[in-house]
Amino acid sequence: MNIYVGGLSSEVAENDLKEAFEAFGKVETVNIIKDKFTGVSRGFGFVEMPNNTEALAALEGLNNKDIKGQVIKVSEARPRSSEGRGGQGGNRGRGGYGRRGGGRDRW
């Protein structure tokens, strides 16, 4: 199960999260999301646990707990949208020229 962890202090390292989650079972991966330019934590990350029973126990046991002075939020991660980042809905990005009025092109 992929687990979202939010509200992370900038002091929390991946090893800190791994230790906290290992109290509930096997941890496959830990990834704290960082700003690509500064390398500073963006305050959230993901933990992958292969056993769902252990992962659910971690959700219960760690949600609203303090890690390094910050209360964290833990929940099952939602899958990424298939539309990609930002969801480019509507007519966004399409020019303002073309058909106007009674269906004729006016240039």
Q: Is residue 87 over pLDDT 90?
A: no
For residues 84 and 71, what is the distance between their CA atoms, to the nearest angstrom?
30
Higher per-residue pLDDT: 85 or 50: 50
pLDDT at 80: 78
CA–centroid distance for 54 within its chain: 20
Buried b (16+ CB within 10 A) or exposed e, 68-79: eeeebebeeeee
Which pLDDT does position 27 carry in this prediction?
98
At residue 32, the 3 state secondary structure works out as: strand
Kindly state the DSSP code that residue 22 receives in the 8-state scheme: H
CB atoms within 10 A of CB 33: 13
Residue among 30, 34, 21, 26 at smallest CA distance from 65:
21
Is residue 45 within 8 A of residue 32, CB to CB? The reply is: yes
Q: For the chain, which domains are there?
A: 2-76 (3.30.70.330)
pLDDT given for residue 32 in this prediction: 97
pTM of the model: 0.73
pLDDT of residue 102: 55
Cα dist. 64→5, 14, 87, 91 in Å? Answer: 10, 18, 30, 41
